[in-house]
């Protein structure tokens, strides 16, 4: 009986030891299997803007900037164009909405990022406490998978997974005229009121990486640039303490050009430039706070389109600002 007790005690001790060791391992494995991982966010797919006069907007994007309208979506009830798609390259485009804007001050509809897996992104955001309802999203009318959420400031953010059967993939290599003033979206800027909440959303949850911050006033921060985690495109958080009278200058799109002076000369030589002067401003090149040459244009509704070189004039990066973000003014 004594020997049995020793063996039984040894057996129980060994079993308890194994359970002690294996238990946490299984718990860690279970946790890693249960916690959804963020899929790749590879770049800016598109940005949407509301336009009050589609023919004028198309003259700006096609006649002046040289892009083609790759396709459009019509309102099923009226048969009129609801969204016109302006192709920048095979993976990026602009969407022009003919619906009234959700706010009279803001003509930016939404911003969309390309992801490797929409369902994985949906599950990942839910695991982070984001309100992603089951019925939110599915296959778009253009044939890709997508869904939408809102960022801390209420900006509509879309995630899209392109499919081989989607319209964009089917149009690969088409609608790319030599007249395009730029072949890529460099960044998209939009207004942000709560810097801390925005950085938590874009950096901590989505995995964006800060690359630079700057401002006109050395005492107050104006912009924060955040690069997508799995690509080179970036967003520009436009910080404010009080909302401007119009969002058109702040909510902007930047198109990359290799030679800003050549791009300006090209635009000024086009017949549509004369019409542009009726609602825009003469082209003026300047060097931004980031040390890069750039020029601003404005569409017929006042939305800013920025042409920018991807390098600084002296070849050296401009240091980031150390100024604090502005304090919001509560009215």
60-64, 101-105, 155-159, 317-321: least confidently modelled range = 101-105
Q: Is residue 221 part of a domain?
A: yes
Kindly report the CATH number assigned to the domain that includes residue 215.
Answer: 3.10.180.10
Owning domain of residue 70: 41-312
pLDDT of residue 244: 79
Tens-digit pLDDT profile for residues 253-295: 999 999 999 999 999 999 999 999 988 889 999 999 999 999 9
- pLDDT at 40 > cutoff 70: yes
Q: What is the C-alpha to C-alpha distance for residues 5 and 11, in angstroms, rounded to an integer?
A: 10
Q: Give yes or no for a contact between 155 and 72, defined as CB atoms under 8 angstroms apart.
A: no
Q: Is residue 126 part of a domain?
A: yes
| Helix or strand holding residue 330 (H, E) | none
Tens-digit pLDDT profile for residues 137-182: 789 999 999 999 999 999 999 999 999 999 999 999 999 999 999 9
Q: What share of the chain is helix, strand, coil (3-state, %, to 5)?
A: 25, 30, 45
The length of the chain is: 331
Q: How many domains does the chain have?
A: 1
Q: What is the C-alpha to C-alpha distance for residues 88 and 136, in angstroms, rounded to an integer?
A: 27
Q: What is the C-alpha to C-alpha distance for residues 236 and 191, in angstroms, rounded to an integer?
A: 9
Mean of the per-residue pLDDT values for the chain? 89
Q: Could you tell me which residues come within 8 angstroms of residue 124 by beta carbon, excluding any fewer than 6 positions away?
A: 36, 37, 38, 39
Q: Could you tell me which residues come within 8 angstroms of residue 251 by beta carbon, excluding any fewer than 6 positions away?
A: 106, 107, 108, 189, 190, 191, 238, 303, 304
Q: Is residue 71 part of a domain?
A: yes
pLDDT of residue 23: 52
Write the burial class of residue 95 (CB in 10 Å: 0-12 exposed, 13-18 middle, 19+ buried): buried
Q: Is residue 331 part of a domain?
A: no
Look at the pTM and tell me if it is higher than 0.85: yes
pLDDT of residue 17: 47
Q: Is residue 19 part of a domain?
A: no
What's the alpha-carbon Rg for the chain, to the nearest Å?
25
Q: Is residue 74 part of a domain?
A: yes
pLDDT of residue 9: 47
Q: Could you tell me which residues come within 8 angstroms of residue 170 by beta carbon, excluding any fewer than 6 positions away?
A: 143
Q: Is residue 107 part of a domain?
A: yes
Q: What is the C-alpha to C-alpha distance for residues 130 and 271, in angstroms, rounded to an integer?
A: 48
Nearest to 257 by CA among 297, 317, 206: 297
Q: Is residue 244 part of a domain?
A: yes
């Amino acid at each position: 009986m004594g020997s049995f007790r020793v063996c039984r005690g040894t057996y129980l001790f060994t079993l308890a030891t194994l359970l002690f060791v294996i238990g946490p391992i299984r718990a860690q494995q279970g946790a890693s299997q249960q916690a959804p991982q963020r899929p790749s966010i590879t770049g800016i797919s598109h940005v949407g803007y509301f336009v009050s006069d589609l023919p004028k907007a198309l003259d700006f994007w096609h006649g002046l900037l040289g892009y083609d309208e790759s396709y459009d979506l019509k309102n099923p009830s009226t048969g009129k164009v609801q969204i016109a798609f302006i192709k920048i390259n095979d993976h990026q485009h602009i969407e022009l909405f003919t619906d009234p804007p959700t706010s009279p001050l803001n003509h930016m509809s939404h911003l969309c990022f390309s992801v490797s897996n929409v369902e994985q992104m949906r599950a990942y955001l839910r695991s982070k406490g984001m309100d992603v309802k089951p019925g939110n999203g599915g296959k778009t009318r253009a044939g890709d998978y997508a869904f939408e959420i809102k960022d801390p400031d209420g900006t509509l953010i879309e995630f899209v997974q392109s499919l081989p059967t989607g319209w964009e993939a089917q149009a690969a290599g088409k609608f790319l005229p030599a007249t395009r003033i730029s072949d890529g979206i460099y960044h998209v800027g939009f207004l942000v009121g709560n810097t801390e909440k925005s950085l938590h959303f874009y950096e901590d949850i989505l995995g964006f990486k800060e690359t630079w911050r700057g401002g006109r006033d050395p005492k107050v921060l104006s912009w924060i640039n955040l690069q997508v985690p799995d690509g080179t495109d970036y967003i520009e958080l436009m910080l404010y303490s009080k909302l401007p009278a119009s969002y058109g200058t702040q909510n902007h799109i930047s198109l990359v050009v290799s030679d800003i002076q050549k791009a300006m000369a090209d635009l000024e030589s086009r017949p549509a430039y004369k019409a542009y002067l009726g609602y825009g401003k003469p082209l003026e090149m300047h060097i931004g706070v980031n040390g890069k040459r750039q020029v601003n244009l404005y569409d017929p509704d006042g939305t800013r389109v920025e042409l920018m070189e991807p390098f600084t004039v002296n070849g050296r990066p401009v240091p980031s600002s150390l100024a604090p973000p502005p304090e919001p003014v509560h009215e």
